[in-house]
Structures are given as structure tokens and as C-alpha cells.
Amino acid sequence: MGGFRRNRAVLVRGIALAVLLVGCRGSGDGAATTTSPAHASPALGAGRVDVGGYELSYACRGEGSPTVLLEAGLGAAGTSAWFSFMGLLDGLDARVCTYDRAGTGVSDARPEDAGTPTAALQAEELHTLLQGAGIDPPYILVPHSYGGLVARVFADRYPDEVGGFVFEDVSTAWEIDLWPKWDDSPWIDGEQKVDIQTTKRQVLHAAPLGSRPTVVVSQSTYDEEGIPDWAAPIFARQQAKLARLGSNVIHVRADGVGHFIHDERPAVMVAAVRAAVDAVRGTGELPPCGGVFDEDLVSCLS
């Protein structure tokens, strides 16, 4: 699911990495400046990239292909939100990266003349960052919450670069007009108001998921952000509708877990990412759900 427009404050577990990122300065021409501190693994890298007169910060660890790209929720900095989880993916022998969208974490704020935030603008900024940092495709997009909207548009704009998806309780275009029925506050990301109606249209016009390996991980409790009881089944149906946009999809519900599955039940998300990585490296086909997940932790829905 995943509106959660006031995304839960992320604890400062990423402070060490944030300090590293502050010390990385871009060249100002779209190229990245990276660093690998003496106390860190040589496979850990971080830097900043100019994406049009302002710089976004990123962090990666590990080596190999495909690249797992972790996208944070609304108002959250990827380098904090995913900091603990990234280390759990070390056994994949893949490059795992995340970044801070404009105005979040230690990325620069987006200048007013750069445009109003939409999923398309943020997808373009992400693509510029990836190119400048030399972070190569294919990408497995792993978005959480609002990040799902950015990921859908990114895949629509750059389809040849996206190998698969792992959606973690993501926002969908269909939920956008549902939220004001109990919460009409704006969608704020990086201290700027997102043009959410334009974003909705961009996502609705995005291409379906196709045959890419796709894992949709949905929550079960819907007990945050004042969601009324009557809305929870609607959100659940929208997650199932997202899963039907692809032909190579596993859809699971993380039982007894809320919106932040990678924090509350990280083993589920690790299994989902591993399945997508293995599929992209192999035949492209996902195995049956029961062969991927501990069924004591999830319910297989498709």
C-alpha cells in the first residue's frame, strides 16, 4: 500500500554514512566525486552528483550485477531509511545502492526554478545521478511507499534499464484520491509540495510491468496514519491490482506487519530481493511463491 504521507521519522541510524556523504563533493558538471573511507569495506562507496545545478547524494555497497536500487518513501532519505537493511543484502554478490532525493538527507534542496516535484521530475533526477555516478543497469527497483510512484515512472521512461521490481507496500496512483477522505494534507517531499495530481496522471499513463520479475510485498495491519477500517480492504485490492500489471509476479502479504516491512520483518524483503536478483541473472522467471518465502511470515496471494 503506502501513502503514509507523513512518513515515519527515521532514526539517526544512518549518521555515520551521512557524515561520509557530507564530505563528498560533486564536480559540478554531472560527474560524481566518490570516497571509500579507510575503515570501510573497499566495496562501500558514496558520493554526490550534480543533476542540474544541485547535487544529490548516494551510497552503494557490494559489487556485481544487477544493481539493486533502494528508493525511500515520502520525505525520507534513502541513506538513512535503508542504512541498516543494505548490509543484509551483502550475500547477493550484487551492487546495492540508495540515494537521497532532493531536499532530503544530505542532498541539496531543489531550486524553485528547477520545477515542481513530480514522479517524472524525480525519475529524471535519479537517472542523471545514476549516469553521473557510473551506477550501471540493469536495475532492480526496490521502492517503498511513495517511492513506488517514482519507480513506475522511471521504468516507463527508461524501460531498457530496468530488469525487475520489488515493491514494498508502495503507493499506487489509484490511492491518491482516496486519502483526502480522511486526510487532506499535501504530499511533501524534500520540504516541497509534490504535484500529486500530475504525478497520478504520469503513473496512470506508465507502461505496465510486463514480464520483468516482480515481487509485490504488501502489509497486513493498516494501523498507521489514521487509516479508517473501511479503507484497508480498498488498499489491499489496489495492491492486488498492481500485481496484475505484470505477467511474472509474486504477490505476498507480510502477516502481522505494518507499512515498514524492511524494518519490522526484514527477512521477507531480503527473500524478495534475492528472488528478483536470481531471476534477472537466470532465466528471468520467478519460482513459485512457496519456494521463496517462509510461509510462517507471509501469505502467498499470487
Query: pLDDT tens-digit profile of 199-225?
Result: 999 999 999 999 999 999 999 999 877
267 exposure class (CB count in 10 Å sphere: 0-12, 13-18, 19+) = middle
Under 8 Å between Cβ of 2 and 76: no
Q: Does pLDDT of 86 surpass 90?
A: yes
Listed in sequence order, the DSSP H helices in 134-286 are: 147-157, 196-204, 232-243, 261-264, 266-281
What is the per-residue pLDDT across 255-282, written as a single tens digit (0 to 9) for each? 999 999 999 999 999 999 999 999 999 9
Under 8 Å between Cβ of 152 and 185: no
How many degrees, rounded to 5, is the angle at CA 82 between CA 225 and CA 135?
130
pLDDT computed for residue 224 by the predictor: 78
N- to C-terminal Cα distance for the chain? 16
CATH of 12-35+44-300, one of 3.40.50.1820, 3.40.50.11890, 3.40.50.300, 1.10.10.10: 3.40.50.1820
Q: What is the mean pLDDT of residues 15-20?
A: 43
pLDDT computed for residue 223 by the predictor: 87
Q: Does pLDDT of 75 surpass 90?
A: yes
Give the number of other CB atoms < 10 A from CB of residue 31.
Answer: 15
pLDDT computed for residue 32 by the predictor: 55
pLDDT computed for residue 210 by the predictor: 97
Q: pLDDT tier at 302 (50, 70, 90 boundaries)? A: confident
What is the per-residue pLDDT across 161-186, written as a single tens digit (0 to 9) for each? 999 999 999 999 999 999 999 999 99
Q: Which residues contact 282 (CB under 8 A, 6 or more apart)?
A: none
Give the number of other CB atoms < 10 A from CB of residue 270.
Answer: 16
Q: pLDDT tier at 28 (50, 70, 90 boundaries)? A: very low
The three cell numbers of residue 133 are 555516478
Find, among 7, 12, 104, 16, the residue nearest to 55 by Cα. 104
* Residue-averaged pLDDT of the chain: 89
The whole-angstrom separation of Cα 47 and Cα 70 is: 16
Can you give the residue ranges of every domain in the chain?
Answer: 12-35+44-300
What is the per-residue pLDDT across 229-260, written as a single tens digit (0 to 9) for each? 999 999 999 999 999 999 999 999 999 999 99
Task: HSE, CB side, 13 Å, CA atoms: give it for residue 103.
Answer: 17
